[in-house]
A = this chain, B = another copy of it.
């Protein structure tokens, strides 16, 4: 078993288990036995559990923000007028695409993102902000441009409303979908839910704007 094998097997197992139960509730013993590697391998390859958590986030956030940057570059270069809906679609499409391309589960990353915001892991928040803060600010800036006439403070709050609706819904997608199926017999999938989310979130962002 080569090094990359062990490292990525650990990351695969950690990703799934963290998303399922959170960080504190997942022990290194569970991770390593799921991955089929020795317990000491985590500390050998990653240094500590904290650094493993960061590595899990880095492995999916870096391709995601890179793809998003490329997508935004492309559309800006083409001189497109970027609408609120268009920006949200780009965000969601890249989120689905850049990860699904690697055969990984997009909603798992939404759960991880939700955990990053919710759980008591100061190091993780600092890591994400320092590493991916620029990407976030660029997207937020373009979104603000698409909402002229909206005062900055209102925009900022609504940005968080939108993030909350997105992260909360998608990270609980399975649970919500199960309730829906039980109560209405209607089944949904992730792309369909995102199609519902785009106009809803856009409407929320645009109230009283664009005068």
Which residues from chain A sit less than 8 Å from chain B, CB to CB?
A: 20-22, 24-25, 114-115, 117-120, 152-154, 156-158, 160-169, 171-172, 176, 179-180, 183-184, 186, 188, 193, 196-197, 199-201, 203-208
Contact = CB atoms under 8 A, between A and B. Distances in A.
A153 B207 contact: no
Given A118-B114, A207-B203, A180 B165 contact: no
Given A22-B24, A22-B120, A161-B169, 12 more contacts: A21-B120, A24-B25, A118-B118, A152-B184, A156-B180, A157-B188, A158-B196, A164-B165, A164-B166, A164-B167, A165-B165, A203-B204
Nearest to A129: B179
Contacts of A199: 207-208
21 contacts: A22-B119, A24-B24, A24-B25, A25-B119, A115-B118, A117-B168, A152-B184, A156-B180, A156-B183, A158-B196, A160-B172, A161-B197, A162-B165, A164-B164, A164-B165, A165-B168, A165-B204, A200-B204, A200-B205, A200-B207, A203-B206
A160 B153 contact: no
B168 A167 contact: yes
Contacts of A204: 165, 200-201, 203-204
- Copies, count: 2
Nearest to A164: B168
A20 B114 CA distance: 16
Contacts of A200: 157-158, 161, 204-205, 207
A200 B154 CA distance: 10
A17 to B, nearest CB: 10
Contacts of A161: 165, 169, 197, 200-201
